[in-house]
Amino acid sequence: MNTAITMASALREQPIIEYLYGIIDSKSQYIDYQLNAVINSSLNLGSQLDVKTITEKNIYLHTSKFENQLVFDKIVQFSKTKRLLLILRSMLELHNTEVVMELVTDNLFMYYSEKLLIQKLQNGLTKSSDLH
């Protein structure tokens, strides 16, 4: 009987995991969109190319060093955010759904280092007091 209760509970909680996957995937896709927009605008190409095409065709940024540094800084920022989202997605389990929900709300996950985020997800603790 306990097995039936456990399975029923898991089935009820499964939609929340799917919902959180959807949120994380949506945020990840938006990061890709922003990254493409930054690179294309720095190349004055509008929305003609994506990052993969730029990389494959070996297109270089023909702008000032300052502009290149700004683009590079944005790419680093987007990459960090994307890594954190991938950590959230890969570590999402029933025991930490509440934590993940808290972290994706208002993008709180962005204030964590990778190490602290992993610890928080492993422990399944809520409350943002562990940012320090």
70-127: pLDDT as tens digits: 888 998 999 999 999 999 999 999 889 999 999 999 999 999 999 999 999 998 766 5
The amino acid at residue 75 is I
- Report which residue type is found at 21: Y
Top pLDDT among 45 and 78 is at 78
Indicate whether this model's pTM tops 0.75: no
Please report, for the chain, the start and end positions of each structural domain, with discontinuous segments joined by +.
Answer: 2-131
| Encoded amino acid at 61, one letter | L
Q: pLDDT band at 59, cuts 50/70/90? A: low
User: What pLDDT sits at residue 7?
Assistant: 45
Can you give the pLDDT at residue 114? 96
Quick one: which of 22, 15, 13 has its CA closest to 104? 22
